[in-house]
Amino acid sequence: MAAGYLLRGDGVLQTASTPQSLGRTALSLSPAVWLLLVGALVAAGAAVLLADGTLRLALGSAAATLACLSVLVPALARRERRAQAGAQGRIADFIAHDASPSFTTDAEGRIGYQNAVAEDRFGDCGGQTLSRALGDLFANPAAVLYRLQTRAMSVGAAREDVVTRRGHVRLSVHRVGDGSFLWRLEEMVDRSAGGRGAETLSLPMLTVSKSGTILFMNEAMRRIVGGRVRALDRIFPYLPLRSGEETEVSAADGQIRCIVAELEGASGRREIYLLPAAEDPARPAAARPDFEDLPLALARISADGRIEQANRIARELLGLPPRGEGGQTVTFAELLEGPGRPVNDWLADAMSGPAENRPQVLRVRRRDEGSFLQVTLRRVAEAGRPGLVAVFNDATELKSLEAQIVQSQKMQAIGQLAGGVAHDFNNLLTAISGHCDLMLLRHDRGDPDYADLVQIHQNANRAASLVRQLLAFSRKQTLKPEVFDLRDTLGELAHLLGRLVGEKIALEVDHDPELGAVRADRRQIEQVIMNLVVNARDAMPAGGTIRIETENRSLREELRRDRATVPPGDYVIVRVRDEGVGIPPDKREKIFEPFFTTKRAGEGTGLGLSTAYGIVKQTGGFIFVDSTPGGGSTFAVYLPICDCVPEAEAVGQHTVTALHAASAADGLDIAAEAVAVDHAADRAADGTAAGERVILLVEDEAPVRAFASRALRMRGYRVIEAETAEDALQTLEDPALKVDLFLTDVVMPGMDGPSWVREALKRRPDAKVVFVSGYAEEALATGQTAIPNSVFLPKPFSLSELTATVHRQIH
C-alpha cells in the first residue's frame, strides 16, 4: 500500500497511510460547504411556502445552484489536496536520501519535513522554525534566512555561501508552491580544512585568523598540545612562523621540533600544518668545516641578540678575539651601534621580517672611530630555534665618501647663505657709505664732525672688505681676470709679505724658470697668497721658515684627491710650506669653512682660508692641504695655465687698487680725494653739460635709491626715480620723454633688471645701461650678453665710483 502526503493549510506536511483514510478525510466537510448546504435548504423551503410562481421559481433555482456548489467545492478541494499531496510526496521522496541536510518550511519558517541527514545532524525539528534549528551552526541565521526567502519569493530560488564555525556552508532555497519552501545545506569542506574533513586528518593542523587567534584545531593537534588553545604563542615559542622552517612546539610532554607548512585560506585566514622533523638535528651552518675559511664575513646571532659564532674575517672586522681563545659572550649591540635607532630594534625587525635583507651601515665600537660595517641580516632556523645570519662588508671607505659628499653639500649651502647675506649687506653698506660721502662734501677738515664722518667711512670700508670675503668664499664676487705671470706678482708682493711675517720668520721664494701664465684676477690671487702666508705665520709662534714654491705640472690623467677631481691639463702650482704646529686630522676637513678658527677670540675672523678657497674655486683652480701634527703644513694651489701673452698692467686699475690699499693702511680721506676726481670727470670731453642728460634710476632699496639720486643730481644730471621695473616701463610710455641712461638694480621683486631693460631697448635702442647689484657680475652674465652698451657696477659703490661710471657710459 503506497504512502501518501498531505500539506495542511499551515504548511505542515502530513502522511496519509491508505486511500480509505484519504477518502474519510475528504468526506469531512468544511464550514463553507455546510453554509452552502444550509443556504440551499433555506431557499428550497421558502420556494415551497411561497404562492408566487415567479418567486418560487427563482428561489428553487437558487437552492439548486447552492446544492450543486456544495457538491462541487468539496470535489475541487479534494482534487487540489490530492495534487499538492502528490507534489509534496515527490519532493519528500526526492530529498529523503539526499546527502545534504534538507528541510521544507512554510512562509513563517516552520519546518514541515526534514530528511534523514537533517535529523542526524540537527535532531527532530518538527514544529520548530528553521532559524532556531540552525542557531548552533552560525551566528544570526534569521537575517540570512529572511534575505534568501525574500529573494526566492521574487525569482523562485536563491543561494548564499555562509562562513560557519565548522567551515563554509552553501545554503540554498527553492519556492515550491504559494507558501512553501525547500531548504538545502551543502557543506563545502574543501574550502577550509577547519571542518569535518580536517578532523579525520592524522596530520596536526590548525586555522588562525588574521589577528593571530586560533579558530580551529583538529584532533591530532589537540592531542599534541593537550587540549584546545586559543593563542598562537601558547603553542609556538618563537614567532613569527615561516613556512618551510623548522621550529619548536610546546607540546603536552615537552618541547618537540616540527617543520611548519602554512597555506593561505579564505578571508585572511591561515592554515598551519605540522610536519615531522628529522630525528637528529643538522649541525648549524656556523659549525660546518668550511664556515671558518669562507671569503665572506659571517656571524650567527641568536634571537636575543647574542653572537653565537663568527668566522675569521668577521672576528677581524668586529674586533673579537681569535677562535679558541674563549672570552665572554658578547651581544650584537655591544659590538655595533646604529645611526639614530637602537640596534636591538633593528634585530627585532629582522626577526619579524620588515628589516630582513635590508643592509644597514653601523659603526664598530671596538675599533677606531672611523670604522663602519655594512650589515645584512637574514632569518634562519637551526634545531627548531630561529636566529639570524649576519653578512658584514667593510663600509669605511663608503662612509668616508658619504661624509665628503655631506661636507661638500654643507659648504655649498653655507656659500649660498653667505652670498645672500653679502647681497643684503652690500645694499646697507652702499646706503651708509654713500650718505657719508654726501655729508663729507658739506664739511671741511676743520669741522668738528669731520673726524667722526671719516671714522664712519673707514669702518664702512672695513665692513665692505668683510663682505667681499664672504662673496669670495661663496664664489659670487666680481672678478676682473687678466693674464699675468705669477713670478711678477710674487716679486711685487715680496716686500709686503716680508713685513707681514715679521723678523722671527724667514721667507723663501723658489720659482720654476719656465713658469706658465695664468688668467685670473691679479688682486684676488694676491689676496690668496697673503692669506696663506699669514696662516703659515700664525702656525709658527716660535719662528721658522715659510717657503713659497711655484712649478709647472702637466696631468695626463685626472687627479682625484679629497673631495675634488682635477681634470687632465697643464697647471701652475703654488705651494706655501711652513714648519708650524700642523693641523689635527679631525679639524682638517673644517679649515675652509667660514668663521672656523682655532685662534682665541679677537685674533682672527676665520675667513682667511675660506676666502682663499672661494677665490681659487671661482678662478677655476683647486686648493689642497697636507699637514702633520707637529710637522708643519703645505697648501698647494692649482691654477690652469693660459696659452696667452701676459697683458700689460692696467695703470688705472692698479692706481685704484693702490689707492684703496693705502687708504686702508694710512686712513686717508678717500671721499675728499674722490670728490676732486669726480669734479674733473664731470667735465665732458665734448663740452656737453651734465644737466642736459636724463637718467632713469630703478632701485627697490629706498636708501640706496635716495643716495644715488642725490649724488647724480649734485653732478647736474636730471634723475627720474622708479621703485620697480614695472614703474620704469610705465614711465617710458611717454614718447616725449628723452632718457640717456638706465641705471638699474639687477635683482628686484617682480621683473628683474635685464628683463625690463631688454624690453625698454626695443623702443629706445640708443639708451646706455649701467647695472648695479650686491651679487657678483656672474649673476648678470647670461642676460647682459644680449644687452648692448651696458656695464656693471658692483655694490657697495662710493659717490665717486657711481658718478665716474655714469659719466663714462654717457660720454
pTM (whole model) above 0.85: no
Predicted pLDDT at 786: 65
At which residue does the C-alpha cell 410562481 appear?
Answer: 53
- What whole-number distance in Å separates Cα of residue 104 and Cα of residue 115? 9
pLDDT band at 767, cuts 50/70/90?
very high
Per-residue model confidence as pLDDT tens digits over 233-251: 888 877 777 777 778 888 8
Across the chain, what does the average pLDDT equal? Answer: 76
Predicted pLDDT at 633: 92
Per-residue model confidence as pLDDT tens digits over 580-632: 888 888 777 777 776 666 665 445 556 678 778 888 887 889 999 998 888 89
Lowest mean pLDDT among 221-235, 563-577, 717-731: 221-235
Cβ atoms of 194 and 167 closer than 8 Å: yes
% of the chain at pLDDT higher than 70: 72
Strands (E), 27-177: 102-106, 111-114, 157-164, 167-175
pLDDT of 655 over the 50 cut = no
Number of neighbouring beta carbons within 10 Å of residue 504:
11
pLDDT of 712 over the 90 cut = yes
Secondary structure element (H or E) that encloses residue 573, with its range: strand 569-577
Per-residue model confidence as pLDDT tens digits over 146-160: 888 889 888 888 988
Per-residue model confidence as pLDDT tens digits over 197-208: 566 677 888 888
Grid cell in block for residue 357: 635583507
Q: pLDDT: is 720 or 318 the higher one?
A: 720
At which residue does the C-alpha cell 647682459 appear?
Answer: 784
Lowest mean pLDDT among 6-15, 386-395, 774-783: 6-15
Predicted pLDDT at 190: 46
Secondary structure element (H or E) that encloses residue 510, with its range: strand 505-510
Predicted pLDDT at 696: 94
DSSP assignment of 300-355: EEETTSBEEEE-HHHHHHHTPPPTTS-----BHHHHEE-SSS-HHHHHHHHHHSTT
Predicted pLDDT at 447: 83
Residues 6 or more apart in contact with residue 541 via CB below 8 angstroms: none
Q: What is the mean pLDDT of residues 648-670?
A: 36
Predicted pLDDT at 727: 93
Grid cell in block for residue 94: 526526492
Predicted pLDDT at 3: 37
Measured in degrees and rounded to the nearest 5, phi and psi for residue 138 equal -155, 160
Secondary structure element (H or E) that encloses residue 141, with its range: helix 141-155
Amino acid at 236: F
Number of neighbouring beta carbons within 10 Å of residue 253:
7
The CA distances from residue 474 to 202, 417, 429, 535, in Å, are 78, 8, 19, 20
Cβ atoms of 257 and 265 closer than 8 Å: no
pLDDT of 17 over the 50 cut = no
